[in-house]
Structure 1
Amino acid sequence: MAPACVEAEEVYDYIVCGGGTSGCVIAGRLAEDLNATILVLEAGPDNADLENVHMAGGWSQNFDSETDWNIVTEHMPTVNNRQVKCSRGRFLGGSSGVNGTLCIRGTKQDYDDWCLDEWTGEKMWTYMAKAETFHDKDWFKADASVHGESGPLHTEPHDLAPISELFKESMIDQGLPYHSDMFSTGETPQGCGDVLRTVHQGIRSTAADFITKGYRRENVTIKTDATVDKILLEKKDGDLTATGVLTVSKDGQERAYYARKEVIISAGAYCSPTILMRSGIGAKDELEEHGIDCVVDLPGVGKNLMDHVLCFIFYEVSKPHLTNDHLVYHNNAFTTSYALYREHKTGVLSTFPFGIFGYARLDSRLASSPLWTTAPRKNGRDPMGLAPSQPNIEFWNTELYGGPKQFTDFPVEDGKSAFAICVLLFNQRSRGTVALRSKECADNPFVDHNYLADDLDMLVLSEGCRMANEIVMKGRGTRDVVRGSWPEGEGHHRFETRDEWVPYIRQHATTCYHASGTCKMGAEDDKMAVLDSRLRVKGVRGLRVADVSVVPKVNNGHTQMVAYGIGEGAAEMIKEDAKKGQDS
Structure 2
Amino acid sequence: MAATDGAHFDFIVVGGGTAGNTAASRLAKNPSVTTLVVEAGVGNPDEAYKTTFVKRDDYERIDKPNTRGKALGGSSSLNYFTWAPGCKSTFDLWEEYGGKEWTWDPLVPYLRKSVTYHDDIKLYSPDLKKIGTDGPIHISHAELIDDMKPFREAVTKAWKSRGEPQTSNVYDGEMNGLTRCADTIYKGVRSGSYNLLKNKRNITVLPEVKSKRLIIDDADRTCKGVTVIAASGKELNFYASREVILSQGVFESPKLLMLSGIGPARELAQHGIDVIVDSRHVGQHLSDHPGVPFVLRVRDGFGMDDILLRKTPKNEAVVSAYKKDHSGPVGSGLLELVGFSRIDKYLEKDPAYKKAKASNGGKDPFSL
TM-score by length of 1: 0.55
In structure 1, list runs of 5 or more residues that go unmatched: 1-5, 54-59, 69-86, 386-426, 429-552, 554-584
Instruction: Answer yes or no: is the 8 Å Cα contact 2:5–2:236 preserved in 1.
Output: no
Change (3 A) 1:135 1:307: farther
Number of residue pairs aligned between Structure 1 and Structure 2: 347
Deviation at 1:286, TM superposition (A): 1.7
Change (3 A) 1:245 1:380: closer
Quote the Cα distance in structure 2 between the aligned partners of 1:51 and 1:271.
18
Give the match for residue 36 of structure 1: 33
Whole-Å Cα distance in 1 between the matches of residues 361 and 46 of structure 2? 52
Deviation at 1:49, TM superposition (A): 6.6
Task: Note if 1:210 corresponds to 2:196.
Answer: yes
* In 2: Cα distance, 1:291 partner to 1:260 partner: 29
Pick the aligned partner of 2:141 from 149, 154, 157: 157
Q: Sort the Cα spacing of 1:177 and 1:342 in 2 relative to 1 into closer, same or farther, 3 A.
A: same
What secondary structure sits across from 1:225 in the alignment? coil
Q: Is residue 194 from structure 1 mapped to residue 188 from structure 2 by the alignment?
A: no
Residue 323 in 1 paired to residue 303 in 2? yes
The whole-number CA distance in structure 2 between the counterparts of 1:148 and 1:172 is: 30
- Cα offset, 1:166, TM superposition: 2.2
| 1:142 shift after superposition | 5.7
Cα offset for 1:253? 0.4
**Shift of residue 372, structure 1, vs aligned partner:** 4.4
**In structure 2, how many angstroms separate the alpha carbons of the residues matched to 1:8 and 1:375?**
52
1:351 maps to which of 303, 315, 332:
332
**Residue among 98, 105, 129 paired with 2:112:** 129
Asked whether the equivalents of residues 175 and 191 of structure 1 are also in contact (C-alpha less than 8 Å), the reply is no
**Any idea what SS the aligned residue of 1:102 has?**
coil
Q: What whole-Å deviation, never above 9, does each CA across 1:424-466 have from its counterpart, x for those lacking one? A: xxx27xxxxxxxxxxxxxxxxxxxxxxxxxxxxxxxxxxxxxx
**2:213 counterpart SS class:** strand
From 350, 362, 384, give the equivalent of 2:343.
362
Unaligned runs of 5+ in 2: 51-60
The CA distance in 1 between the partners of 2:102 and 2:62, in whole Å, is: 35
Q: Per-residue deviation at 1:155? A: 0.7
Give the CA deviation at 1:52: 5.2
Q: Secondary structure at the match of 1:256?
A: strand
| Counterparts in 2 of 1:248 and 1:340: CA distance versus 1, 3 Å | same
Q: CA deviation at 1:328?
A: 1.7
Aligned-pair distance for 1:336? 4.6
Q: Give the distance between the partners of 2:73 and 2:246, measured in 1 at CA.
A: 15
Contact conserved, 1:165 with 1:356, CA < 8 A, in 2? no
Counterparts in 2 of 1:364 and 1:43: CA distance versus 1, 3 Å:
closer
Q: Which residue of 1 aligns with 2:56?
A: none
8 Å contact from structure 2 (residues 139, 182) kept in 1: yes
Q: How does 1:126-525 map to 2 (within 5 A)?
A: 126-136=109-119, 137-141=121-125, 143-144=127-128, 146-160=130-144, 161-162=148-149, 163-182=151-170, 184-188=171-175, 190-212=176-198, 216-235=199-218, 239-318=220-299, 320-332=300-312, 334-373=315-354, 376-377=357-358, 384-385=364-365, 427=366
| CA distance in 2 between partners of 1:222 and 1:334 (Å) | 37
Rounded to whole Å, the distance in 1 between the matches of 2:206 and 2:4 is 17
How far is the alpha carbon of 1:228 from its aligned partner?
Answer: 1.5
CA contact (8 A) 2:45 2:77 kept: no
Shift in Å at residue 376 of structure 1? 4.2
User: Is 1:27 aligned with 2:24?
Assistant: yes
What is the one-letter code of the residue matched to 1:139?
L
What is the rounded CA distance, in whole Å, between the counterparts of 2:360 and 2:288 in structure 1? 24
Q: Is the 8 A contact 2:13 2:245 kept in 1?
A: yes
1:144 offset after TM fit, Å? Answer: 3.5
The separation in 2 between residues aligned to 1:245 and 1:40, in whole angstroms, is 11
In structure 2, distance between residues paired with 1:225 and 1:369 = 47
Letter in 1 for 2:191: S
Partner Cα distance (1:380, 1:229) in 2: 41
Tell whether the 8 Å contact from 2:143 to 2:328 is kept in structure 1 after alignment: no
The alpha carbon displacement at 1:245 in A equals 0.6
What amino acid does structure 2 have at the position aligned with 1:207?
Answer: S
In 2, Cα distance between equivalents of 1:27 and 1:263 = 11
1:349 shift after superposition = 2.2
Aligned positions of 1:45-64 closer than 5 A: 45-47=42-44, 50=47, 63-64=64-65
Paired position in structure 2 for 1:103: 83
Give a deviation string over 1:311-351, Cα, whole Å, max 9, x none. Answer: 23333334x43222331234535555434323331222212
Render the CA deviation track for 1:502-549: whole Å, top value 9, x for unaligned. Answer: xxxxxxxxxxxxxxxxxxxxxxxxxxxxxxxxxxxxxxxxxxxxxxxx
| CA gap 1:286/1:277 in 2 versus in 1, 3 angstroms | same
Distance in 2, matches of 1:377 and 1:13, equals: 49
CA drift at 1:138: 2.4
Is this contact kept in 2: 1:135–1:155, CA < 8 A? Answer: yes
Identity of aligned residues (%): 30
Is the 8 Å Cα contact of residues 52 and 61 (structure 1) preserved in structure 2?
Answer: no
Q: Which residue of 2 aligns with 1:510?
A: none
Q: 1:380 to 1:224 in 2, by over 3 A?
A: closer
Alignment-mate amino acid for residue 117 of structure 2 = F
2:6 aligns with one of 2, 5, 9: 9
Using the alignment, how far apart are the partners of 2:141 and 2:246 within structure 1? 32
SS at match of 1:310: coil
In the other structure, the counterpart of 2:55 is: none
> C-alpha displacement at 1:124, in angstroms?
2.1
SS in structure 1 of the partner of residue 336 of structure 2: strand
Structure 1 distance, partners of 2:357, 2:298, is 43
Root-mean-square deviation over aligned CA pairs:
2.8
Is 1:89 aligned to residue 69 of structure 2? yes
- 2:239 aligns to what SS in structure 1? strand
